[in-house]
Amino acid sequence: MEIVGLFCKGVGDQIVKPVEALNVQRGHGVAGEAHAQAGSPRQVLLASAPYLQELGLAPGDLQENIVVDGVLDGAVERLGSGRVLQLGQTAQIRLMFLCEPCAYLEQVQPGLVKRSLGKRGMLGIVIASGVVRRGDAVIVLPQQFPVLSERAGDRFTEFVARIPPGKVVRTTELLLALGLTHSYYRTIPTFLKKAAADIPTHRILAADSSLISRHIPQQMQRLQAEGVEVVNQQVAAHYYWQPLYFHDLQI
């Protein structure tokens, strides 16, 4: 397997631009790239050359960062969540979940949203830094992280279950960690309502750091039992779970 295309969408750029090399940084993503952000599972988008050809697309049309060719079974998307790829000498990417087709694709090619299901690319996070270049080899490493679901509700359960006692996450960072846009704010109450009793939803705060007790019974008492100080229905920033730890970077 090898890298046959590299692209970067800088902050403020409207389209991705071809580059000869990418500097990927552990826990953050591609240096200078618009989606580089600690805590996000969308730090890197890898696409498969065979799928681009099948869809009648040019490299970069899917706004991917890395185009890979020669993957076992023909496509990086088939490797599955949790696998680890080494790119070049040192860079390593943990594959998270398939990138869902978005409305932008209809501007690229009518009907592309439907035709690109399962072929939009694989999202990943950087677990080892390095410089990636065109022509670099891509190796599937033996490590296997837990598999993440394509379903947002399942990812909600998986993530909230890992929030440490005594830490809290605001809804803004919750959406970041789940790889969801702000349009999903309206679904958070539904996630909370459907959560199993043993899922620590009391560790989730509103965007302004206030409690959301109307959806979480006994939230203040449960936080206080973990040593979290609540003043005027709000929690101080030093109790926040830092985004760098949202997703495991090593097994």
CATH topology assigned to domain 152-245: Arc Repressor Mutant, subunit A (1.10.10)
User: Quick one: pLDDT at residue 72?
Assistant: 65
Query: 122 near 76, Cβ under 8 Å?
Result: yes
Residue 18: the pLDDT is 95
Assigned CATH class of 2-144 = mainly beta
The CB density around residue 164, as the number of other CB atoms within 10 Å, is: 11
Q: Give the start-to-end residue ranges of the domains of the chain.
A: 2-144, 152-245
**pTM of the model as a whole:** 0.93
- Over the chain (251 residues), what is each successive 10-residue block's mean pLDDT? 93 87 97 92 95 92 93 82 96 96 84 89 97 96 96 97 98 97 93 95 97 94 98 97 96 81
| 213 to 15, 160, 166, 222, 223: CA distances (angstroms) | 42, 16, 17, 11, 11
pLDDT of residue 14: 77
Domain 2-144 and domain 152-245, same fold? Reply is no
Is the separation of the CB atoms in 98 and 104 below 8 Å?
A: no
